[in-house]
Amino acid sequence: MSQDVWNFIFIGITFGIYIGIALWAKAGSTKEYYTAGGGVSALANGMATGADWMSAATFISMAGIVAASGYDASRFLMGWTGGFVLLTTLMVPYLRKFGKATVPDFVGDRFYSKTARLVAVFCAIFICMTYIMGQMRGVGIVFSRLFNIEIATGVIIGASIVFFYAGLGGMKGITYTQVAQYCVMVFAYTIPVIFISLALTGNVIPQMGLIGDFTKGGGEAVPLLQKMNDLSVELGVTKYTDGSLSTTDMFCITAALMAGTAGLPHVIVRFFTVKSVKAVRKSACWTLFFIAIIYLTAPALGLFARTNLVDEINNKTYTEAPSWFKNWENQGMIAWVDKNNDGIIQYGKGKAFNGKPVMEAETRGDHGQRLVKNELTTDLNEVYYDRDIIVLANPEMAGLPKWLIALVMAGCVAAALSTAAGLLLVLSTSISHDLMKKIVNPNITDKQEMAYARMASFGALVIASYFGINPPSSFVAKTVAFAFGLAASSFFPTLLMGIFSKRVNKEGAVTGMICGITFTFAYIVYFQFIADHTNYLFGISPEGIGFVGMFINFIVTFVISAFTPAPPQEVQDMVEHIRIPSGAGEATH
């Protein structure tokens, strides 16, 4: 059977499962729509949160980042898992006890003000919107590669599927589809790596392979990391186990990603679906466990893929290059420019050429390679590869069977759809519940509220799809810095102070949120889009600036609160109430 047939079968089966679950779990009330009725088991919620959390970017790009930057990539590995420790110990048990359905709900009640709620709604919409655009783009790219269709068509197919089960099924539909999606993802991610680990190191467990010996080809066993470091020195690039980022920058980025994780509304609301505070804790353990399976595999995959890549192509003539090299070259994801005209592929320091490759359509080079129109650099490196292929081309590099490649494709789609669905829910509830019901017109009925939620999710998808099809230049690629930085500088400090301080009042919280998010937003926009230099403040890159924004929020909030009246007694009582874990009841609205 050809690869296309396998892809169709796998994607078809998984879509069938998702739609089947959506029909079975159609939400009948706003309670089911917002929090799945509050009766999801800790284990199921853990899996669903894992799927919600791991986006297309994590699934496709993370191993590629590890492969390309070695130690430096640890900031993502630690940032996106360590954040769950903050989330679990400082946030979700208290917010679950509070018992409302959305994050702006807590902000609005705790800071007894419509302004605070409005600012929170705005932050939530902004964070989720930037994030969801990247997901729609991801779905589009995978579909277009799978079925040779336009990216636009791929985005529209993806959007329709998401609307079908997220827009109609609400949280209930999303939760149970995400459980299925997690299962698809975890198999798609780990199985190929196990095979590669066996081939390279003889170890069944990839994590052992990472710290094990390279034994491929029956030669003398050498430590794999040592081999990679030696190769790096030979090629003139930074050693794999050394970093090139400054300690300050590494620290700030990791901290911003952690705080951002603990402040992302689509992750927080997932914990409103379980029964009690005790179940929240248990569910958080499961969540991190399920996430850790993939995050512990990524570093192994990254190292294996980098070794394979260097080993199989460096100093080989183009004619003897492996077939996956030529396949992905045909897709425009790999390019080779023969700078010294020797017919041999040299991989080394620097870039082969500037920017993404722009390929000549018909003419081929002397050795049959595709030619690029890009301006070449003077660096010795002759190879360009898109880091996304580390996961996508991985099964081919290892010579794995076709059905496994199809499984990886289905995993990519699952990753993108599950995250998009979770974000869509927060977007639609922020609009229907916090904006329409709580601010504009408190008299609407349950049915009307749900109709607003469905309309809002349709509207949000249309906008997200539009930007998925026409990404505003480099915007989508930078969404990670945006979403995490903004969450770290707005929701995280505000929620934290709302829970652990009784003295922080509405004046402080509102000013703090606005100052934190404005500073972070301005800094990111300035260095990503306006400035053409990188003289960062204290050497902190835009990725890590959310950490500074967080402190600005803290300081502003405390100072303003100290000079303005304390919150009313009932709010202080409420804070005491949420600190007691028992009697959480069902999440209401």
Partner 1 sequence: MSDNKDSAAEHYKGSLKIVGSILIIWAFISFGCAILFRTWMDANMPKIGNAPFGFWMAQQGSIIGFVLLLLAYTFLMNKLDEKHGFGEDS
Positions touching partner 1 (CB under 8 A) are 66, 71, 74, 77-78, 81-82, 84-86, 88-90, 93, 207-208, 210-213, 223-226, 241, 247, 250-251, 254-255, 258, 275-279, 281-282, 284-285, 288-289, 292, 295-296, 299, 576, 579-584
Report CA-CA distances (Å) from 161 to 158, 271, 339, 430.
5, 24, 46, 21
Q: Which is closer to partner 1, CB of 85 or CB of 525?
A: 85
Least distance (Å) from partner 1 to the CB of residue 579? 5
CB of 101 to partner 1, least distance (A): 19
Q: How far is the CB of 454 from partner 1 (least distance, A)?
A: 33
Q: What is the largest CA-CA distance in the chain?
A: 81
Shortest Cβ distance from residue 213 to partner 1 (Å)? Answer: 7
Beta bridge partners of 154: none
Distance CA 48, CA 181 (A): 8
Comparing CB distances to partner 1, the nearer of 79 and 173 is 79
251 versus 466: smaller Cβ distance to partner 1: 251
DSSP 399: T
Shortest distance (Å) from residue 278 CB to partner 1: 5
Cα gap 222→219, rounded to integer Å: 9
Q: Which is nearer to partner 1, 168 or 198 (CB)?
A: 198
The distance of closest approach from Cβ of residue 90 to partner 1 in the complex, given in angstroms and rounded to an integer, is 7
Q: CA 280 to CA 496: how far, in whole Å? A: 17
Q: Closer CB to partner 1, residue 212 or residue 263?
A: 212
Q: Which of 204, 398, 203, 220 is nearest to 212 (CA)?
A: 203
Query: Which residues, in sequence order, are CB contacts of 309 under 8 Å at separation 6+?
Result: 67, 347, 385, 397
Nearest CB to partner 1, comparing residues 96 and 478: 96
Q: 335 is written with which tokens?
A: 């390019």
CB of 548 to partner 1, least distance (A): 16
Closest residue by Cα to residue 62 from 294, 238, 348: 294
Q: How far is the CB of 150 from partner 1 (least distance, A)?
A: 38
Residue closer to partner 1 (CB basis): 205 or 455: 205
DSSP letter for each residue of 553-570: HHHHHHHHHHHSPPPPHH
DSSP 8-state code for residue 362: E
Closer by beta carbon to partner 1, 275 or else 370: 275
CB of 582 to partner 1, least distance (A): 4
How far lies 51's CA from each of 48, 130, 131, in Å?
A: 5, 19, 15
Task: Report DSSP state, residue 316.
Answer: E
Closest CB to partner 1 among 138 and 302?
A: 302
**What single-letter DSSP state applies at residue 36?**
G
- Residue 133: helix, strand or coil by DSSP? helix
- The residue among 554, 515, 506, 582 whose CA lies nearest residue 111 is 506
Burial class (CB in 10 A: 0-12, 13-18, 19+), 126: middle
What is the Cα–Cα distance from 260 to 488, expressed in whole angstroms?
A: 4
